[in-house]
Amino acid sequence: MATVKLLTDAEVAAIPTARAVFDDIRATRKSDFVNNFWRGLANDPVLLKRTWEDVKAVMVGEGALDPLVREMIYIAVSTANGCQYCVHSHTAAARARGMSDAQYGELLAVIGLAGKTNHLVTAMQIPADPEFQVKS
């Protein structure tokens, strides 16, 4: 259960701004499927539009990082933040972009290791080495 209504296609169709975003999601992804996140955001068409523009700008298309790498970074952040839905949706997205079982296993291994050393470092309150400093 969500704290907002998840709008159906019919309900979205009645809100011009939301409908335009849904059309663009479908065109960009070349798929008719629009997942629940967007159906929840559609209750606030302005927030929906701004969020989709962000996602489209950052996650879609060519860039300095491979799209699959971007999805794996997204999974890493979502895991550390404990966002269940986001873990599910971006793991599905990474698989759709070709993530192999071996890549997924390594992703899990890095995430688990970072979780461990993050906790050890914080418990010991290790001060940053001067060697890490950015030259200005």
45-64: contacts with a copy of itself (CB under 8 A)? 46-47, 50-51, 54-55, 57-59, 63-64
Distance CA 118, CA 134 (A): 21
Beta-carbon neighbour count of residue 135 at 10 Å?
A: 3
Which residue in 24, 28, 73, 97 binds a copy of itself (CB under 8 A)?
Answer: 73
CB-based contact 29:67 (threshold 8 Å)? no
Which residue in 6, 17, 28, 97 binds a copy of itself (CB under 8 A)?
Answer: 6
Residues 77-136 contacting a copy of itself, CB under 8 A: 77-89, 91-92, 100-129, 131-134, 136
- Residues that bind a copy of itself (rule: CB under 8 A) add up to a total of 83
Angle (deg, nearest 10), helices 101-124 and 84-96? 140
